[in-house]
Amino acid sequence: MKHDTLDFDAARTIYGAINHSRFEDLRRDLLESAIRYAGLRVQWLQMDGEARADMDGRRSRAHEAFIDQCNILARNMAACGEDASWREVLGQHRKSIGDFACFVHLFLGIAAR
């Protein structure tokens, strides 16, 4: 995986590892955060320059919140002996983590059909 890209298979593997955690509340928080950020990311794409500038702060805060949720879940999983290696696979690059939020949104949308 390039440092700033995340492919479908890696995202699916990470998503599966997260879903194996016993931390239901933290998983739910991560998923809700992913949905929120992915939605803002798509809205931002559809906007013109001025509207994008107005939304940048909110989108960035949602991205930070999603990164925080990934870190919180991984720390708790590791502390209780669960496999949290998915967090290392996800990496530290903002673009990859943001892409993962969009993959989560996709996986949840398909599961809901």
Encode pLDDT of 12-38 as tens digits. 999 999 999 999 999 999 999 999 999
Tokens found for residue 16: 């599966």
Degrees, nearest 5: CA angle 90-92-96: 55
| Phi and psi angles of residue 23, each rounded to the nearest 5 degrees, phi first | -85, 75
Q: How confident is the model at residue 5 (pLDDT cuts 50, 70, 90)?
A: confident
Q: H helices within 1-113, ranges in order?
A: 8-19, 24-46, 49-79, 85-90, 94-111
CA 56, CA 62: separation in Å to the nearest integer? 10
Other beta carbons less than 10 A from residue 66's beta carbon: 25
Tokens found for residue 107: 């996986």
pLDDT by residue (tens digit) across 58-84?
Answer: 999 999 999 999 999 999 999 999 999
| pTM recorded for the entire structure | 0.92
CA 55, CA 94: separation in Å to the nearest integer? 18
